[in-house]
Chains A and B, each alone.
Chain A
Amino acid sequence: MSAAEGTRRDFLYIATGAVATVGAAGVLWPLIAQMNPDASTIAAGAPIEVDLTPIADGQVIKVFWRGKPIYINHRTKKQIEEAQNVDVAKLPDPQPDSARVKAGHDQWQVLIGICTHLGCIPIAHQGPYDGYFCPCHGSVYDTSGRIRSGPAPSNLAVPPYEFLSDTKIRIG
């Protein structure tokens, strides 16, 4: 009798405890979710379109997407050659230039302008390779945006982008 009573009593307490845990999770979820990016922030991070026609040969412009600076570099023939004629295996972060541009559009370089060391914005057309140079701790990037020397561990990141036409790209 007492054993059966025991299990019946325990079942009620266990059921109550289980329901309480579910309730606690239900209360906790909105409190955590509210810190995730809100709808207006996500909408503001929608892809942007950039018209390439005003960018002259050799010119670099900076646009912002999702709060990050994006370099769009209209590379000169010399810069493209220097980027391609490289022993990829000897690079600190080996990557061929072809993997960092879109086929048939290798004069256009689109990079996230954030140094992969600690997040400063490297300066364009600077440094021994006429690529990018980060003034914070001296990281040096080439005309493909690849790390050559300095403390940065990897190449400048390439954002997702596509060519809508020869003169327009969509970033994001």
Chain B
Amino acid sequence: MTDTDTSFLKGQKHLVKRHRAETRFQWMGRLAIVMSLSFLIFMVGSIFWQGKSALQTSEIALTVNLSAEVIDPQDIRGASFDKIVKTALREQFSEASKRKEKKKLYGLVSSDAGYELRNQIEENPALLGGTQTLWVSASDDVDIFLKGQIDRNVPQSDRRLDDQQIGWIDTLTETFAIRSVFNTKFFTNGDSREPELAGILSALVGSALSLSVCFLLSFPIGILAAVYLEEFAPKNRWSDIIEININNLAAVPSIVFGLLGLSIFLSTFGLPRSSPLVGGMVLSLMTLPTIIIASRASLRAVPPSIREAALGMGASQVQATFHHVAPLALPGMFTGAIVGMARALGDTAPLLMIGMVAFIVDVPKSLLEPATALPVQIFLWADAPERAFLEKTSAAIIVLLLFLVLMNIAAIILRKKYELRF
């Protein structure tokens, strides 16, 4: 042992190895994060890419004859608006003379064009009495052609629009008789067989109603159950069994809750099929365990010294719980509830079992009317054969994701707002 001692601060062999292991681990962690982020970006990006075109829709200008011979101003609804639309199209493209050609020509506008015309005239009767240029929706094929989703270079037999129709569209484009507008119908209509008319409003309202029922049922019940189990129930074999079963319930596949709802709520209680009431009840079965577990965890996180302080003052168990412990646990309870609700918002399987998979055109006005829900609507559209439903599916997914993000933000804000430091 002479001057070799100066090296005692330098890295020795096993230290070098240890540092290398540490660096290696850090890089593996970074790689994992980069990979999961890129998957996420890829998924969200592709959905946005496909869905953004659904926010635009095409309209065609028609020069329509609204004179008194065609529409009786006293009886607007008595007139045949379909005929007016067809006449306008025929006059513009008189070369379509054969039956088959006419049919193709009528196919350029939405089957709803007549109604749209009527609505515009009813809103503004001043239009009556002459010739007007009014905009109506184009059909879905025209719409996706204009969005570049139909390639005019593929053989005629392989595409939805033939050369003649594309010629008409080109003519309309050249004369500025086609425009692209914001697709309000997507947000104001219910479902439809015609993609250009299909909207998410009925599904959105259905989801909102179901979730309200779910929240109103599962939040109070869940919190009361959690408070009782955590603060009042004796700790014995029974409370252990209950605890284990609640944890198991949280892991049960959601379709099983759907089956339960089907056999109990529909078959035994005879509640109306496909209704948001039953949907909400089934979803609350699913959310309850999540809320109970989260609420118990946040109650357990309240320091026991607070409980002792209150009880030592002579507060009863109920007073100690509701004056001191529960308010401190509330932010955690809210977070748990919102996370559970977000899961319920995105779940399809239990709703399929109770018939909320129905084709719903009208916006449900009460809890007992048939309704559908956003994820079910996505499922239905993804299943539809029309090419134009593809972008609708993606757009509906965007709306669903947006709501999930909003709910999560609400959870964070609530937690921050009611968080008490102790």
Tell whether A pairs with B.
no
